Amino acid sequence: MDAVIGIRGGDEVGELAGLVGWLRAERELGGAVQVVRRDIAESELGSGFDVISVAVGSGGVGAALAQSLSAWLRTRRSDIKVTFTANGRTVEVDARRVSDPMALITRVLDGDDAPGN
């Protein structure tokens, strides 16, 4: 399964680059993190935004991803939103307003019903 992470708001390119570097620095995640272009919707002009794809399999990669992404969100000072999609479910996390991002991310990874579906 792949988890897909997108960023909205603030300096999207800079934030995405920062998150990619953060995730790749994690030993458990390094080789599983890829930047991909999403498809352009018919209603959009220009190219699609980049998103991060993380191959989540066995061996604790999901737990490492949830923990690392949660820690990164707590370091953000800009007003950004991170969209996290896995198991056919999506949750949008507001970096400045969520109290427990790890719980939300873990619920999506585990396939539990999560807000924002």
- What's the pLDDT tens digit per position in 31-57? 899 998 766 667 765 555 689 999 987
- Highest mean pLDDT pick, 44-48, 79-83, 98-102: 79-83
Q: Give the model's pLDDT for residue 117.
A: 45
Contact partners, residue 2, CB within 8 Å, separation at least 6: 53, 54, 55, 56, 86
Model's pTM, two decimal places? 0.80
Q: Give the model's pLDDT for residue 25.
A: 95
Query: Which domains, from first to last, does the chain contain?
Result: 2-110 (3.30.70)
